[in-house]
Structure 1
């Protein structure tokens, strides 16, 4: 029997997902933002952070581990620094508010930094990078995450697969670097396990510290850091910046949204926005950035390579394609999404 699948337009899927969150008492504007972030991940091909995660976010809302209407409080200790107490908000809502604050400070002072404490999983970091570049700003996004990766030399989960995320404006397609600091995002291992698919050697270790191609054993064990000790060191940096400095949980104490249901996650984030032209004459940044990209793409090609791509360019092209052709959802992702929609009487038009 062929696998069940459906194709959705961006607008229809966004509206349906937003309605599911509204049905869980999330204010309409916040629900719309959550839906836009999730659908954009699917548009960009980052399906591990797309609408497949709707069921777990709604489950944690129902359990009271995430607040639909949090009382968030912004502290501003300096003119270029702020901290948001997210009050266990949906991470998308807290992150959007924090990046907006960082962008506002950057408009007024050239740069701005906003930390977030008591947050939850915020999905794809590129959502907030693009929020900054849409405002003409360059940005960094840091977050910590539940333990999934050993510190270099260890075999037990201690560090999160926190992304290293940076973006700079570059005309219609900003340069967007959003990469997990593990060999592969843990969400991909989770999806492979759910589908009964194997994973490549080098992605993960089982619970006993042995290399494995069994996705379920890899999910129960640890994923491995990107570039060995270097990836481990960068992930430790995320723990320091997003965890220690923000006042959030750190060092393996962020709770896993899929397995820990006794308390909120207490994720920490940090958002930095800055004017890309702050050191240059008017118009010089755009000219220099265009020149950099042109010269980079004109470099001699390695064997088997058809084109040099800038970070984020593959995802931008995928977005353009899926906006024309639709977003395909299939298998358990479709079944579970349909179940959540039926639970609250939301139609899934496709």
Structure 2
């Protein structure tokens, strides 16, 4: 069975194997250790990627390991960066990532933002000079699990999204996540990019030999295309409104971090915003209000053409529960990329392959 039923969001619906969460974390950690990443950072990056896989966002999880390793090995990213504070003014801070691998830099920025918000009520931490952060939802969740609302916006490496009314890429497919603490329940999680899809989803369609949905992409000549092999740029989701959000996200991740105004390589910007419900005086009512909102959303009359209404993050937490019980699903191409990444850097893939199981 091959992942030829990958839906529009890049999730592999019919993978061939499953691997226990802890085994995948250990394997990916070992890969990063081999290119000189310190143990704590290696495990943080691996854990972030595996958690992304757990939520079903396979386009931005461990599938990216080989690319990160290549950049760390050839100097495009720094395996032992000196992430430093440039300045601090009240609850605002600016940091330099020294070309750190993105998930590690994002974890540092969010951790610092949480510390400031816990003491001062809110925080805005701008970081420049990091690599690709993966899914913005992973660092945002760390903040929410620490009890503060967390917003993360990350800059991309190159322009690949067209503004509304254009066919030329100007904007990045900027990731944006909002994670809301929800008492003892899983956080409410919005985790998206500003294009119609991720490039990982486009790649999944290409691998499976499937056409792209109408309206996703343009070819090099500026003509709409459904051929994933000809897709050169993506449209912003949601028409003019989505395009406006994409521009706003670009401003937050670029101009407001001290990074470049537009995507331009590995020195990327990241903005982390944290808000403490305790400091606002709403913590005692937050759970009640969120429950009321969630009940209203989930019980709303469903349409005849869409899936049942749900809160942001509901599907992710269902996927997490399945992955934690049965293991993380890996499609053939995904598994092959992990094995190849291990071989390329001297990591024996046996610890990964021997723990694989079939689909339940």
Does the pair score TM above 0.5? yes
Distance in structure 2 (CA, Å) of the matches to 1:113 and 1:184? 28
Residues 30-109 of structure 1 mapped to structure 2, 5 A cutoff: 30-109=41-120
Of residues 345, 348, 351, the one that matches 1:346 is 348
Of residues 190, 201, 211, the one that matches 1:177 is 190
| Change in 2 beyond 3 A, CA 1:203/1:304 | closer
Distance in structure 2 (CA, Å) of the matches to 1:330 and 1:237? 35
| Change in 2 beyond 3 A, CA 1:302/1:278 | farther
Tell me the equivalent position of 2:316: 315
Tell me the equivalent position of 1:324: 325
Aligned-partner SS, 2:161:
coil
Distance in structure 2 (CA, Å) of the matches to 1:325 and 1:59? 31
Note the C-alpha offset of 1:101: 0.7
Residues 106-145 of structure 1 mapped to structure 2, 5 A cutoff: 106-145=117-156
Distance in structure 2 (CA, Å) of the matches to 1:70 and 1:154? 39
Asked whether 1:156 is paired with 2:168, we answer yes
Tell me the equivalent position of 1:336: 337
Aligned-partner SS, 1:25:
coil
Tell me the equivalent position of 2:178: 166
2:2–2:331 Cα contact (<8 Å) kept? no
1:169–1:175 Cα contact (<8 Å) kept? yes
Deviation sequence 1:172-194 (CA, Å, 0-9, x none): 12110111111112221133234
Q: Which runs of 4+ in 1 moved over 6 A?
A: 1-4
Aligned-partner SS, 2:108:
helix
Asked whether 1:198 is paired with 2:211, we answer yes
1:34–1:93 Cα contact (<8 Å) kept? yes
Note the C-alpha offset of 1:166: 1.1
Aligned-partner SS, 1:199:
coil
Deviation sequence 1:198-254 (CA, Å, 0-9, x none): 211111011111111110111xx1111111121111111122111112111232x42
Distance in structure 2 (CA, Å) of the matches to 1:152 and 1:32? 40
Distance in structure 2 (CA, Å) of the matches to 1:129 and 1:40? 12
1:144–1:250 Cα contact (<8 Å) kept? no
| Change in 2 beyond 3 A, CA 1:247/1:279 | closer
Note the C-alpha offset of 1:49: 0.4
1:106–1:273 Cα contact (<8 Å) kept? yes
Distance in structure 2 (CA, Å) of the matches to 1:49 and 1:126? 10
Aligned-partner SS, 1:97:
helix
Residues 244-263 of structure 1 mapped to structure 2, 5 A cutoff: 244-251=255-262, 253-255=263-265
2:55–2:320 Cα contact (<8 Å) kept? yes
In the alignment, structure 2 segments of 5+ residues that lack a partner are 4-14, 356-360
Distance in structure 2 (CA, Å) of the matches to 1:306 and 1:226? 19
1:129–1:139 Cα contact (<8 Å) kept? yes
Matched residues, number: 338
Aligned-partner SS, 1:174:
strand
Give RMSD over aligned pairs. Answer: 1.9
In the alignment, structure 1 segments of 5+ residues that lack a partner are 256-264
Deviation sequence 1:144-172 (CA, Å, 0-9, x none): 21210112222111101112321211231
Of residues 6, 20, 26, the one that matches 2:31 is 20
Asked whether 1:213 is paired with 2:213, we answer no
Tell me the equivalent position of 2:9: none
